[in-house]
């Protein structure tokens, strides 16, 4: 697992090393994003859920069962037992 995390970290460093100077020099990411959302308009009171959340949330609800009482008790200094 440690080797995988190290590879992931190096990917992140290299991505920043490539995209940060590219954005600083050309504003490429700004113009790309602007072109992608040029027709997007929000309405008052409208919430936007990203595509990843839309795909993952139904599966997560089936897998993860949250016990809010335990969460509140731990937040108040209690234990998980």
Model-wide pTM > 0.95: no
Residue 58: is its pLDDT beyond 80? yes
The token pair at 76 is: 């108040």
pLDDT interval class at 32 (50, 70, 90)? very high
Percent of the chain having pLDDT more than 90? 38
Q: CA 4 to CA 9: how far, in whole Å?
A: 9
Q: What is the maximal distance between C-alpha atoms in the chain?
A: 55
pLDDT of 6 over the 80 cut? yes
With a cut of 80, say whether residue 55 has pLDDT above it: yes
Does the CA dihedral 56-58-64-66 come out positive or negative?
A: positive
């Amino acid at each position: 697992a440690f080797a995988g995390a190290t590879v992931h970290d190096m990917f992140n460093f290299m991505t920043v090393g490539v995209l940060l100077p590219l954005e600083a020099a050309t504003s490429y990411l700004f113009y790309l994003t602007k072109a992608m959302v040029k027709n997007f308009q929000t309405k008052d009171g409208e919430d936007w859920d990203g595509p990843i959340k839309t795909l993952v949330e139904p599966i997560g609800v089936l897998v993860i069962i949250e016990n809010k009482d335990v969460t509140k008790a731990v937040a108040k200094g209690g234990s998980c037992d």
